[in-house]
A = this chain, B = another copy of it.
Amino acid sequence: MANTQSPLSGTEVGTTGPVLIIGAGLLGASLGMRLSKLGVPVFLRDIYPVVSALACDMGAGSTWEENSPEPALVVVATPPDVAADQVIAALKEFPDAIVTDVASVKSVILAEVAEAGADLSRYVGCHPMAGRERSGTAFAREDLFESRPWVIVPNEKTVAGAVLAMRSLALDVGSLPLQLEAETHDQSVALVSHVPQLVSSLLAAQLARAMPESLGLAGQGLRDTTRIASSDPALWAAIIAGNAEHVAKMLRGFADDMQQVLHALEHPGAAIPSPSLVGAVTLAMRQGNLGVARIPGKHGGAPRRYQEIMVKVPDEAGTLGRLFQAVGETGINIEDLELEHSPGAAFGIARLAIEPNSAASLAEKLEIKGWEIVAS
Contact = CB atoms under 8 A, between A and B. Distances in A.
Given A277-B244, A327-B321, A146 B345 contact: yes
Contact of A291 (B178, B208, B298): B208
A229 B291 contact: yes
A375 B299 CA distance: 24
A334 interface: yes
Interface string A211-244: 1011111110111111111111110111011101
A160 interface: no
A97 to B, nearest CB: 26
Interface in A285-338: 285-301, 312, 315-334, 336-338
Stoichiometry, as copies per complex, reads 2
Residue among A180, A206, A251 with the most chain B CB within 10 A? A206
B258 A255 contact: yes
Interface string A277-288: 111011011111
B221 A196 contact: yes
A229 B254 CA distance: 14
Contact of A241 (B217, B247, B273, B292): B273
Contact of A294 (B208, B325, B332, B339): B208
A5 B139 CA distance: 53
A223 B311 CA distance: 22
Contact of A214 (B188, B205, B336): B188
In the A-B complex, the 5 residue pairs with the closest CB atoms? A321-B328, A300-B343, A318-B328, A201-B288, A147-B345
Interface stretch (A43-51, A118-126, A261-269): A261-269
Given A248-B262, A262-B255, A285-B237, A217 B188 contact: yes
A233 B208 CA distance: 28
Given A252-B266, A317-B333, A333-B315, A278 B238 contact: yes
Contacts of A284: 198, 201-202, 205
